[in-house]
Structure 1
Amino acid sequence: MERHTTIFELFSGIRPMARELGEHPSNVAAWKRVGRIPAEKQPHVLAVGLRLSLPITAEHVVFPLGRPHAAYADLSPMPAHVLCDRPAGSQRPAAEPII
């Protein structure tokens, strides 16, 4: 199985990444914990990585821990149709549109 390098590994860890970005280490640790860099921070992270000559791409910034579907490649696809098994009487009636 091929191992993908995370953006945090490219920066040599959370603290070095935080130092280079001018962010608090707890912010960068939170990014790693949730697996997402906030959209407003992504251009800055990419620019700093490129300035440091890191082999960083936009994909590293958007998917900092790797593409999510790669981990689920061995799962079967979701069923095409989702059916509601509740009787029609227990569902709320549709609301009238307000004009």
Structure 2
Amino acid sequence: MEQLASIFDVFGGIRPMARALNESPSKVMAWKQAGHIPARKQAEVLEKGNALGLLITAEHVVFPLGHPAPNVAGSEASVVCDENPKAQRKGRSQ
């Protein structure tokens, strides 16, 4: 799977991103250090990036440091659940 570029790099760094979002550089730096953008800010970051003509996607906002989503479909590990959930009805096939 292809590695995403850091959203902070796509914006041109911490200060340019902070300026574009009307945030303090220290706040944007805290996002980078934490490895995530707060959920309440994600839509704004995506909208601002697109308005500036930056090639960012929702995946960049969710994985701001460039971590790709795991390839779940290609995983060879199986998941087994031995317990019957209380919400599951008897006799109902899935």
Which TM-score applies when normalising by structure 1?
0.65
Change (3 A) 1:51 1:69: closer
Structure 2: segments with no counterpart, 5+ residues: 71-76, 81-94
Question: Where does residue 6 of structure 1 map in the other structure?
Answer: 6
Letter in 1 for 2:63: F
Match of 2:28 in 1: 28
1:41 is paired with a residue whose SS is helix
Q: For the pair shown, which has the larger CA radius of gyration, 1 or 2?
A: 1
Mapped partners of 2:64, 2:36: distance in 1: 6
Runs of 4+ in structure 1 deviating by more than 4 angstroms, as ranges, are: none
Distance 1:49 1:23, change over 3 A: same
Number of matched pairs: 76
* Secondary structure of the structure 2 residue equivalent to 1:40: helix
Structure 1 residues 28 and 66: alpha-carbon distance in aligned structure 2, compared to 1, 3 A threshold? same
After superposition, the CA RMSD in angstroms is: 2.3
| Identity in percent | 59
Deviation at 1:68, TM superposition (A): 6.2
8 Å CA contact retained: 2:36, 2:62: yes
Match of 2:44 in 1: 44
* Cα distance, 1:67–1:3 mapped onto 2, change above 3 Å: closer
> Corresponding residue for 1:18?
18
